[in-house]
Structure 1
Amino acid sequence: MRFSRSVLTAAAFAALAVGTTTALAVPASAAPNTTPQKVCGNAYKTVNSAVVGSLGTVYLTYNAANGQNCVATIRNNPGAAVDMSAYVYVPDTDESAGDSGQYTSYAGPAYVYGKGHCIDWGGNISNVYVQITGSNCAALKEQRATSTR
Protein backbone atom coordinates (compact mmCIF):
# COMPACT_ATOMS: atom_id res chain seq x y z
CA MET A 1 0.00 0.00 0.00
CA ARG A 2 1.46 3.36 -1.02
CA PHE A 3 0.90 6.60 0.82
CA SER A 4 1.09 9.84 -1.05
CA ARG A 5 3.57 12.46 0.00
CA SER A 6 0.77 14.85 1.03
CA VAL A 7 -0.75 12.29 3.43
CA LEU A 8 2.64 11.65 5.09
CA THR A 9 3.35 15.39 5.32
CA ALA A 10 -0.05 16.04 6.90
CA ALA A 11 0.54 13.27 9.44
CA ALA A 12 3.97 14.68 10.31
CA PHE A 13 2.54 18.16 10.86
CA ALA A 14 -0.26 16.75 13.02
CA ALA A 15 2.25 14.88 15.19
CA LEU A 16 4.38 18.01 15.49
CA ALA A 17 1.35 20.09 16.51
CA VAL A 18 0.37 17.60 19.22
CA GLY A 19 3.95 17.52 20.54
CA THR A 20 4.14 21.31 20.65
CA THR A 21 0.83 21.56 22.49
CA THR A 22 1.99 19.01 25.04
CA ALA A 23 5.32 20.76 25.53
CA LEU A 24 3.60 24.10 26.23
CA ALA A 25 1.01 22.70 28.64
CA VAL A 26 1.13 23.81 32.28
CA PRO A 27 2.46 21.08 34.57
CA ALA A 28 -0.17 19.30 36.64
CA SER A 29 1.59 20.30 39.87
CA ALA A 30 0.91 23.99 39.18
CA ALA A 31 -2.62 23.64 40.56
CA PRO A 32 -4.12 21.92 43.59
CA ASN A 33 -4.93 18.27 43.03
CA THR A 34 -8.06 18.35 45.20
CA THR A 35 -11.02 20.47 46.25
CA PRO A 36 -12.81 21.03 49.58
CA GLN A 37 -15.65 18.84 48.29
CA LYS A 38 -13.25 15.97 47.51
CA VAL A 39 -11.82 16.24 51.03
CA CYS A 40 -15.07 16.83 53.00
CA GLY A 41 -17.70 15.27 50.72
CA ASN A 42 -19.87 16.37 47.82
CA ALA A 43 -22.72 17.51 50.12
CA TYR A 44 -20.42 20.09 51.76
CA LYS A 45 -20.62 23.55 50.23
CA THR A 46 -17.84 26.11 50.73
CA VAL A 47 -19.15 28.90 52.97
CA ASN A 48 -15.89 30.67 53.79
CA SER A 49 -12.17 30.53 53.03
CA ALA A 50 -8.90 32.14 54.06
CA VAL A 51 -5.64 32.24 52.15
CA VAL A 52 -2.55 30.85 53.84
CA GLY A 53 -0.02 33.34 52.49
CA SER A 54 0.89 32.24 48.98
CA LEU A 55 0.92 28.55 49.98
CA GLY A 56 -2.76 27.58 49.83
CA THR A 57 -6.20 28.08 51.35
CA VAL A 58 -8.17 26.91 54.38
CA TYR A 59 -11.81 26.17 53.50
CA LEU A 60 -14.83 26.14 55.81
CA THR A 61 -17.64 24.03 54.36
CA TYR A 62 -21.14 23.21 55.56
CA ASN A 63 -23.59 20.38 54.97
CA ALA A 64 -27.15 21.73 55.38
CA ALA A 65 -28.59 18.20 55.53
CA ASN A 66 -26.75 17.21 58.73
CA GLY A 67 -25.63 20.57 60.21
CA GLN A 68 -21.96 19.58 60.07
CA ASN A 69 -19.09 21.96 59.29
CA CYS A 70 -15.88 20.65 57.76
CA VAL A 71 -12.51 22.34 57.42
CA ALA A 72 -9.73 21.44 54.98
CA THR A 73 -6.40 23.14 54.27
CA ILE A 74 -5.30 22.69 50.65
CA ARG A 75 -1.90 23.57 49.19
CA ASN A 76 -1.66 25.50 45.92
CA ASN A 77 1.24 23.35 44.76
CA PRO A 78 1.37 19.81 46.14
CA GLY A 79 4.88 18.54 46.67
CA ALA A 80 7.16 17.27 49.40
CA ALA A 81 5.45 16.74 52.74
CA VAL A 82 5.32 19.82 55.00
CA ASP A 83 3.67 20.62 58.33
CA MET A 84 -0.04 21.25 57.75
CA SER A 85 -3.18 21.50 59.86
CA ALA A 86 -6.91 22.13 59.71
CA TYR A 87 -9.12 22.71 62.74
CA VAL A 88 -12.66 23.75 63.62
CA TYR A 89 -14.12 24.71 67.01
CA VAL A 90 -17.62 25.60 68.22
CA PRO A 91 -17.25 27.80 71.34
CA ASP A 92 -20.93 27.41 72.39
CA THR A 93 -20.70 23.63 72.61
CA ASP A 94 -16.93 23.29 73.19
CA GLU A 95 -16.82 20.75 70.35
CA SER A 96 -13.66 20.68 68.26
CA ALA A 97 -11.92 18.61 65.63
CA GLY A 98 -8.61 18.86 63.86
CA ASP A 99 -6.00 17.20 61.74
CA SER A 100 -2.29 17.93 61.65
CA GLY A 101 0.83 16.28 60.36
CA GLN A 102 3.22 16.16 57.42
CA TYR A 103 1.19 16.23 54.21
CA THR A 104 1.89 16.62 50.50
CA SER A 105 -1.47 18.11 49.40
CA TYR A 106 -4.03 18.76 52.14
CA ALA A 107 -4.88 18.51 55.85
CA GLY A 108 -8.35 17.49 56.98
CA PRO A 109 -11.13 16.77 56.96
CA ALA A 110 -12.11 18.01 60.43
CA TYR A 111 -15.86 17.86 61.23
CA VAL A 112 -18.06 19.38 63.96
CA TYR A 113 -21.79 19.99 64.35
CA GLY A 114 -22.22 23.73 63.92
CA LYS A 115 -25.82 24.50 62.90
CA GLY A 116 -26.87 27.79 64.48
CA HIS A 117 -23.47 28.42 66.10
CA CYS A 118 -20.49 30.68 65.50
CA ILE A 119 -17.44 28.81 64.25
CA ASP A 120 -13.72 29.27 64.95
CA TRP A 121 -11.51 27.62 62.34
CA GLY A 122 -8.14 27.76 60.65
CA GLY A 123 -5.02 25.91 59.72
CA ASN A 124 -1.44 26.17 58.60
CA ILE A 125 0.94 25.28 55.81
CA SER A 126 4.61 25.19 56.80
CA ASN A 127 5.16 28.22 59.04
CA VAL A 128 2.12 30.29 57.93
CA TYR A 129 -0.88 30.07 60.28
CA VAL A 130 -4.42 31.38 59.75
CA GLN A 131 -7.00 31.71 62.55
CA ILE A 132 -10.60 32.87 62.07
CA THR A 133 -12.81 33.43 65.12
CA GLY A 134 -16.49 34.27 65.36
CA SER A 135 -17.14 33.16 61.78
CA ASN A 136 -20.49 32.69 60.07
CA CYS A 137 -22.43 34.36 62.90
CA ALA A 138 -24.85 36.43 60.82
CA ALA A 139 -24.42 40.07 61.86
CA LEU A 140 -21.32 39.55 64.05
CA LYS A 141 -18.00 40.44 62.46
CA GLU A 142 -15.43 37.66 62.34
CA GLN A 143 -11.81 38.21 63.32
CA ARG A 144 -8.97 37.03 61.07
CA ALA A 145 -5.30 36.65 61.97
CA THR A 146 -2.39 35.41 59.89
CA SER A 147 1.00 34.79 61.44
CA THR A 148 4.33 33.17 60.61
CA ARG A 149 6.35 31.22 63.11
Structure 2
Amino acid sequence: MRIARNVAAVGAFTALAVGGTVALSATASAAPNVTPQGVCGKAYKTVNSVAVGSLGTVYLTYNSSSGMNCVATIRANPGTAKYMSAYIYVPATDEWAGDDGKFTSYAGPSYVYGKGYCVSWGGHIDNVYVSVENSNCAALKERRVTEVR
Protein backbone atom coordinates (compact mmCIF):
# COMPACT_ATOMS: atom_id res chain seq x y z
CA MET A 1 0.00 0.00 0.00
CA ARG A 2 2.80 2.41 0.94
CA ILE A 3 4.65 1.67 -2.34
CA ALA A 4 1.51 2.37 -4.36
CA ARG A 5 1.12 5.78 -2.64
CA ASN A 6 4.78 6.64 -3.28
CA VAL A 7 4.44 5.69 -6.97
CA ALA A 8 1.28 7.79 -7.22
CA ALA A 9 2.98 10.75 -5.52
CA VAL A 10 6.00 10.55 -7.86
CA GLY A 11 3.65 10.33 -10.86
CA ALA A 12 1.69 13.37 -9.70
CA PHE A 13 4.86 15.35 -9.04
CA THR A 14 6.22 14.43 -12.49
CA ALA A 15 2.96 15.53 -14.13
CA LEU A 16 3.09 18.86 -12.28
CA ALA A 17 6.74 19.40 -13.18
CA VAL A 18 6.13 18.64 -16.85
CA GLY A 19 2.98 20.77 -16.87
CA GLY A 20 4.86 23.66 -15.28
CA THR A 21 7.61 23.38 -17.89
CA VAL A 22 5.07 23.41 -20.71
CA ALA A 23 3.22 26.37 -19.20
CA LEU A 24 6.46 28.38 -19.06
CA SER A 25 7.56 27.64 -22.62
CA ALA A 26 7.85 30.58 -25.03
CA THR A 27 5.58 29.15 -27.71
CA ALA A 28 2.09 27.73 -27.53
CA SER A 29 1.97 24.06 -28.28
CA ALA A 30 -0.91 21.68 -28.63
CA ALA A 31 -1.73 18.26 -29.94
CA PRO A 32 -3.13 17.92 -33.45
CA ASN A 33 -6.89 18.41 -33.79
CA VAL A 34 -6.94 21.59 -31.69
CA THR A 35 -10.45 23.12 -31.66
CA PRO A 36 -11.63 26.69 -31.09
CA GLN A 37 -13.41 25.48 -27.93
CA GLY A 38 -10.20 23.85 -26.73
CA VAL A 39 -8.39 27.18 -27.10
CA CYS A 40 -11.14 29.64 -26.01
CA GLY A 41 -13.17 27.48 -23.61
CA LYS A 42 -16.04 25.01 -23.73
CA ALA A 43 -18.70 27.72 -23.32
CA TYR A 44 -17.58 29.45 -26.54
CA LYS A 45 -19.48 28.59 -29.73
CA THR A 46 -17.99 29.21 -33.19
CA VAL A 47 -19.96 32.00 -34.89
CA ASN A 48 -17.65 32.75 -37.83
CA SER A 49 -14.40 31.62 -39.41
CA VAL A 50 -12.05 32.47 -42.26
CA ALA A 51 -9.44 30.28 -43.95
CA VAL A 52 -5.80 31.39 -43.85
CA GLY A 53 -5.09 29.98 -47.29
CA SER A 54 -4.38 26.28 -46.84
CA LEU A 55 -2.37 26.91 -43.65
CA GLY A 56 -5.24 27.00 -41.14
CA THR A 57 -8.27 28.96 -39.97
CA VAL A 58 -9.07 31.95 -37.79
CA TYR A 59 -12.16 31.34 -35.63
CA LEU A 60 -14.47 33.90 -34.02
CA THR A 61 -16.30 32.42 -31.04
CA TYR A 62 -18.88 33.80 -28.61
CA ASN A 63 -19.93 33.01 -25.05
CA SER A 64 -23.60 34.02 -24.71
CA SER A 65 -23.47 33.86 -20.90
CA SER A 66 -20.64 36.38 -20.55
CA GLY A 67 -21.01 38.38 -23.78
CA MET A 68 -17.34 37.74 -24.55
CA ASN A 69 -15.91 37.04 -28.00
CA CYS A 70 -12.74 35.03 -28.49
CA VAL A 71 -10.51 34.67 -31.55
CA ALA A 72 -8.01 31.87 -32.21
CA THR A 73 -5.88 31.10 -35.26
CA ILE A 74 -5.39 27.34 -35.59
CA ARG A 75 -2.94 25.68 -37.95
CA ALA A 76 -4.11 22.90 -40.25
CA ASN A 77 -0.82 21.03 -39.75
CA PRO A 78 0.91 21.74 -36.43
CA GLY A 79 4.68 21.42 -36.49
CA THR A 80 7.70 23.68 -36.52
CA ALA A 81 6.96 27.05 -34.93
CA LYS A 82 5.81 29.73 -37.41
CA TYR A 83 4.93 33.37 -36.99
CA MET A 84 1.18 33.59 -36.27
CA SER A 85 -1.37 36.01 -34.84
CA ALA A 86 -4.98 36.32 -33.72
CA TYR A 87 -6.69 39.63 -32.97
CA ILE A 88 -10.12 41.11 -32.31
CA TYR A 89 -11.29 44.73 -32.16
CA VAL A 90 -14.62 46.33 -31.16
CA PRO A 91 -14.75 49.73 -32.92
CA ALA A 92 -17.68 51.04 -30.83
CA THR A 93 -15.79 50.57 -27.55
CA ASP A 94 -12.22 50.80 -28.91
CA GLU A 95 -11.45 47.54 -27.09
CA TRP A 96 -8.72 45.38 -28.65
CA ALA A 97 -6.97 42.11 -27.83
CA GLY A 98 -4.37 40.12 -29.70
CA ASP A 99 -1.68 37.49 -29.59
CA ASP A 100 1.29 37.08 -31.90
CA GLY A 101 4.57 35.23 -31.97
CA LYS A 102 6.05 31.93 -33.12
CA PHE A 103 3.69 29.04 -32.38
CA THR A 104 3.49 25.36 -33.27
CA SER A 105 -0.31 24.93 -33.27
CA TYR A 106 -2.33 28.07 -32.54
CA ALA A 107 -2.28 31.78 -31.69
CA GLY A 108 -4.71 33.12 -29.11
CA PRO A 109 -6.95 33.09 -27.32
CA SER A 110 -7.77 36.79 -27.56
CA TYR A 111 -10.88 37.99 -25.71
CA VAL A 112 -13.05 41.15 -25.81
CA TYR A 113 -16.54 42.01 -24.63
CA GLY A 114 -18.68 42.08 -27.77
CA LYS A 115 -22.35 41.65 -26.85
CA GLY A 116 -24.43 43.81 -29.17
CA TYR A 117 -21.40 45.18 -31.06
CA CYS A 118 -19.88 44.70 -34.49
CA VAL A 119 -16.38 43.22 -34.32
CA SER A 120 -13.35 43.22 -36.59
CA TRP A 121 -10.99 40.28 -36.28
CA GLY A 122 -8.37 38.23 -38.06
CA GLY A 123 -4.90 36.79 -37.92
CA HIS A 124 -2.08 35.32 -39.90
CA ILE A 125 0.06 32.24 -40.37
CA ASP A 126 3.49 32.65 -41.95
CA ASN A 127 2.97 35.13 -44.82
CA VAL A 128 -0.83 34.80 -45.26
CA TYR A 129 -2.91 37.48 -43.49
CA VAL A 130 -6.72 37.56 -43.19
CA SER A 131 -9.03 40.19 -41.75
CA VAL A 132 -12.79 40.48 -41.34
CA GLU A 133 -14.34 43.90 -40.72
CA ASN A 134 -17.89 44.67 -39.55
CA SER A 135 -18.46 41.05 -38.62
CA ASN A 136 -21.66 39.78 -37.06
CA CYS A 137 -23.53 43.05 -37.67
CA ALA A 138 -27.10 43.06 -38.87
CA ALA A 139 -26.82 46.54 -40.38
CA LEU A 140 -23.35 46.47 -41.96
CA LYS A 141 -21.98 44.26 -44.71
CA GLU A 142 -19.01 42.17 -43.67
CA ARG A 143 -15.71 42.80 -45.51
CA ARG A 144 -13.11 40.01 -45.81
CA VAL A 145 -9.54 40.50 -47.01
CA THR A 146 -6.81 37.91 -47.62
CA GLU A 147 -3.30 39.15 -48.32
CA VAL A 148 -0.06 37.29 -49.07
CA ARG A 149 3.02 39.29 -48.07
> Which ranges in structure 1 are unaligned for 5 or more consecutive residues?
1-30
Shift, 1:88, TM fit: 0.2
Aligned equivalents of 2:139, 2:51: Cα separation in 1: 23
Partner SS for 1:92:
coil
Helix, strand or coil at the partner of 2:37:
helix
Q: Is the 8 A contact 1:87 1:96 kept in 2?
A: yes
1:138 Cα offset (Å): 1.5
Give the TM-score of the pair, scaled to structure 1: 0.78
Please give the TM-score of this superposition, normalised by the length of structure 2: 0.78
Q: Are the equivalent residues in 2 in contact too, given 1:72–1:107 (CA < 8 A)?
A: yes
CA deviation digits over 1:9-56, x for unaligned, max 9?
xxxxxxxxxxxxxxxxxxxxxx94300000000000000000000000
The Cα shift of 1:58 comes to 0.1
- Matching residue of 1:23: none
Share of identical aligned residues, percent? 72
C-alpha distance after superposition, 1:79-106 (max 9, x if no partner): 1000000000000000000000000000
1:111 aligns with 2:111: yes
1:76-91 to 2 correspondence within 5 Å? 76-91=76-91
**Aligned-residue CA RMSD in angstroms?**
1.1
> Which runs of no fewer than 5 residues in structure 2 stay unpaired?
1-30
Q: Give the residue type in structure 1 aligned to 2:85.
A: S
| Match of residue 144 from structure 2 | 144
C-alpha distance in 1 between matches for 2:40 and 2:97: 13
> For 1:101 and 1:52, how far apart are their aligned partners in 2?
16
Alignment of 1:56-75 (within 5 A): 56-75=56-75
Give the alignment of 1:34-73 within 5 angstroms. Answer: 34-73=34-73
Alignment of 1:85-100 (within 5 A): 85-100=85-100
Structure 1 residue 141 displacement after superposition: 1.1
Equivalent residue of 1:117, what SS? coil
Distance 1:90 1:114 in 2: 7
Supply the distance in 2 between the matched residues of 1:47 and 1:122 (Cα, whole angstroms): 14
Report Cα offsets for 1:97-116 as digits up to 9, x if no partner: 00000000000000000000
Q: Say which is worse superposed, 138-147 or 80-89, in terms of deviation.
A: 138-147
